Structure formats: structure tokens, C-alpha cells
Structure 1
Amino acid sequence: MTPQIRHHIIHAGWLAAALAVLGGVFALYVHPDFLVTLVDQIWSCF
């Protein structure tokens, strides 16, 4: 594998990770009640 191909594969991996994070944030905005429930459960530990 040439260094250039490896470089492109690494960038594609970072792009896929960034898109997954953005998709997760979008999903939380679509279902805000899930985020409120999650925060309430975390806050109840304190």
C-alpha cells in the first residue's frame, strides 16, 4: 500500500467518524425527550 493510499484511507475514516458524530447530535435534536431523560438519570446519581 502506498503512503498516498494510506493517507486517503485515514482521511476517509476521520470523515466517517465526523459524520457519525454529527448524525448523533442531529438525532438528539430530533428527540429532545431522550436527552432530558438521560440527563435526569445522570443527575440522580448525585
Structure 2
Amino acid sequence: MQGKPRSLAWWQRALIWVAVVAVLLAVFALYTRADFMVTLADQVWACF
């Protein structure tokens, strides 16, 4: 018999949100670099 799952503390939720926002900003920064986009397109195209 399992009990009620514990909810995360406010600081754990805040830490998760900070991590998510940091990852999204890093991805956005990579997309603004043209050389990265060309490399990514070449790698995707090489799959076909």
C-alpha cells in the first residue's frame, strides 16, 4: 500500500524552473548562430 506522494518543496520547484529556463536559453542561443544551424542541417541531411 502506497501513501500519498510527497510534493516538492518550493526551492526544488524553483530550481527545476531555473534549470528549464537555462536549457531553453542555451538552445535559443545556439539557434542564433548560423554556423551551428548549417552544421545541424548537414547532419540531418546526412541521415537520408
Q: TM-score range by the shorter chain?
A: 0.5 to 0.7
Q: Output aligned runs, 1:1-46, within 5 Å.
A: 7-34=9-36, 36=38
Percent same amino acid at aligned positions? Answer: 42
Q: Deviations over 1:7-42 (max 9, x none)?
A: 0000000000000000000001111314656xxxxx
* One-letter code aligned to 1:12: A
Q: Matched residue pairs, number?
A: 43
Give the aligned CA root-mean-square deviation in angstroms: 2.4
* Distance in 2 separating the partners of 1:20 and 1:30: 16
Runs of 4+ in 1 over 3 A off after TM superposition: 34-37
Q: Which runs of 5+ in 1 are unaligned?
A: 38-46
Q: Which runs of 5+ in 2 are unaligned?
A: 1-6, 40-48
* One-letter code aligned to 2:29: A
* Distance in 1 separating the partners of 2:16 and 2:27: 17
